[in-house]
Amino acid sequence: MPQAHIPAHPFDAEIPLPAVSHARFAIGDVVRHRVFDFRGVVFDVDPIFANSAEWYEAIPENIRPRKDQPFYHLLAENMESSYVAYVSQQNLVADDTDEPIDHPAISGLFNDFADGRYQLRREHTH
């Protein structure tokens, strides 16, 4: 009787990993939303969706982004306010206005704004 292959160690088993898109934007890049009227500076990147199920389900299904793409944490601004946003890569484009973002948390994370992007403060790099 043929015997089934049993891995010697659980880490020896092959587990298919989801395909992950390459992040188009980096920390310090200024971006704008493709659909909604806001801009922001990237302060963190998740290689795939890493927010709550409730947050994801609250997005209308017809515009809900795929989870297998980078998601960006932004210090964002619109005409009315500044806030933190979590946005999928498919919904972002590079901002070409060369204007700084007006958000109160920027000075705590970034130094200078030059050539359309922010430089992360040394104490926040690893």
Rounded to the nearest 5 percent, the helix, strand and coil shares of the chain are 15, 30, 50
CB 42 within 8 A of CB 28: yes
Give the span between the Cα atoms of 52 and 61, in whole angstroms.
16
Task: For residue 124, give the H/E element and its range.
Answer: none
Put simply, whether the predicted model's pTM sits higher than 0.85 gets the answer no
DSSP code, position 59: S
Confidence category of residue 66, pLDDT binned at 50, 70, 90: very high
| pLDDT score for 15 | 55
| pLDDT score for 123 | 82
User: What is the token pair recorded at 85?
Assistant: 């946003």
Average pLDDT over residues 85-94: 98
| pLDDT score for 124 | 75
Average pLDDT over residues 62-77: 96
| pLDDT score for 4 | 53
Domains along the sequence of the chain with CATH: 17-124 (2.30.30.390)
Q: Find all residues with CB under 8 Å of 68, minimum gap 6, and list them.
A: 18, 19, 20, 21, 48, 49
